[in-house]
Chain A
Amino acid sequence: MNLRATLRLAIQALVRNKARSLLTMLGIVIGVAAVIVTVAIGAGARVSVQQSIASLGSNLIVVQPGSVTQGGVRTGFGGASSLTPQDGLAIAQLPGVAAVSPIVSVRSQVVAGGNNWQTQITGVAPTYTFIKAWALASGRFLSESDVASIAKVAVLGQTVVTQLFPNGESPIGKTVIIKGSPFTVIGTMTALGQSGMGQDQDDVVLIPYSSAMERLTGLTTVNLLMISAATAAQVNPVQSEVVSLLARRHRITPPQPYDFQVRNLQAFAQAASSTGTVMELLLAGVAAVSLLVGGIGIMNIMMVSVTERTREIGLRMAVGARARSILNQFLTESIVLSTIGGLIGVVVGVLGTILVALLAKWPTLIPPGWIFASVGFSAMVGIFFGYYPAQKAAHLSPIEALRFE
């Protein structure tokens, strides 16, 4: 018997038992749909974590002051006042460094006309927009001459714009008072939304770091140095270069502890991504178990079907069917059953994923490989769980099968 005849025979047999075939498929349908939905949610979550990490800044390296010990009491990181803008300039000369910006942070009340608002005042360099990959919404950003002239200019985040200029007028050219000093607004930033940690990233006023030091903190040191490596591959080499450069500049010799701390986000990104992978595998594993249960359902029904159709098998053998034809017939039935179940499962899974994305607003992503893999896997489930019943049918003796009551 050729493949087409066998396939037609299998489909005929399945159509003759529509209700049962559909119920048998249900196990596979649910299994495959579960695989698709769980993988889509897992992959979606991973991608969104990666994106939020990327939004923190590309190839970012952060230098913080280290801890100091005063009379036996150790401060945490940031306790030492050791980082200067000159450190930043020196780092900018290192190979593989794309940009450096000192960061000076102060919380302060900001007043504009009749409105006031407490927000984060951050002193930065003109490179800050590049390091944060943050675009300007209107006006211009801080320039090198603003830094050099310790200019009283400010760029506002969107939250600050809405709080201080609630009537929708343009803030450009207006004056805001920060700690008694008037600053001229020269630009506004695009909205970034919440950070991965739930902070409002738009609740900020950006001013030249020199102005922040001179007019707000009165210090010669800065809170942070943000460094952007030219490429992801250069993050680690640049980091060790920064460590040795700063150790030299701060005249630290081992075993003296460093008075600074250098970190990058890659380790964090990797950890987050591998957690995502573990979650995804776990979900897929659970889904695969339900596929397996679907397979056992197929085997169960095929066993029943073989027993029920013993006389049919006997008759087919009497009119000339070889054992192989009988085996193929039942195996094909089970493969067709599981493959159609798999295809329906993919459709249900994709619809379910769309529903999850729409209703729960979760990020989802269906890797196309998983669609082929789950249909292929269901076909394999059909072969694996259909083989034993088919084998049983093929090995019946014709006369015993015919005599079967």
Chain B
Amino acid sequence: MGGVVEVRNLRKIYPMGDDEVVALGGVDLSIERGEFIAVMGPSGSGKSTFMQIVGMLDRATAGSYSFEGRDVAALTDDERADIRSRRLGFVFQSYNLLPRTSALENVELPMVYAGVPEARRLDIALEKMDIVGIKSLADHMPNQMSGGQQQRIAIARSLVNDPALILADEPTGALDTKTSRDVMRIFSDLNATRDITIMLVTHEPDIAAFAKRIVTFRDGHILSDVPNVKRAA
């Protein structure tokens, strides 16, 4: 089992006028292949900030971060874009689907930038949509779908380039309890049957209960990092 993410003394400081906000005050964390991590903690504790830096959407102020053995701080913007394209998958609380664009085209989007030939895109997209159980919605537009359906499209989209790591920031934050559990079961299955590494942020203990490992943040630091003994099914 090789390390996917290796973070040491990671700091993120936002300037706020003359003042500054320390969003991350020195975080250490290792993520191995096949892990399923839930990140918890009170509002403002730095969970999203951490996810964005790990997802290479933002840069850390200080500390070291290596992704699959590469020093992320040394990468150019284009190299980071390429890693996001081929090695990372994102799922957001607000789905972030392109409006007035069919479910199928939304799922195909990352493959357009990864340079996957057009003929193969359709097959891969339909295969991933089948995995999350929404193959029949391929022609639907986002505004014709429920929240749960939209989030499944987003999950299918995060899968198309066979990422090493899926990052999900409160993926069930906008969903009701039943739909939330359905979505979590999809993540669980992906992790169990396809060995996909997942890190997700949640406020709800019964969502976190699906994960194998629970990391708790407080004030920009990791308060606790424990295996989940009472896993939900």
Contacts and interface: CB of A to CB of B under 8 A. Distances in A.
Contacts, number: 62
A198 B157 CA distance: 78
Interface string B9-23: 000000000000000
27 contacts: A1-B112, A5-B112, A5-B118, A9-B112, A16-B100, A312-B99, A314-B96, A318-B57, A318-B84, A319-B84, A319-B85, A319-B110, A319-B113, A320-B85, A320-B86, A320-B110, A321-B81, A322-B77, A322-B78, A322-B81, A322-B82, A322-B113, A323-B77, A397-B58, A398-B57, A402-B57, A402-B92
B232 interface: no
A198 to B, nearest CB: 64
Interface residues of B, number: 27
Interface string A141-167: 000000000000000000000000000
A302 B118 CA distance: 28
A391 B100 CA distance: 24
Contacts of B58: 397-399
Contact of B113 (A1, A12, A16, A402): A1
Contacts of B112: 1, 5, 9
A317 B90 CA distance: 11
A320 B57 contact: no
B157 A319 contact: yes
B223 interface: no
Contacts of B90: 318-319
Given A1-B112, A402-B57, A317 B96 contact: no
Contacts of A397: 58
A317 B110 CA distance: 9
Interface in A262-312: 311-312
B84 A320 contact: yes
B109 interface: yes
A311 B92 CA distance: 12
Contacts of B115: 1
B175 to A, nearest CB: 19
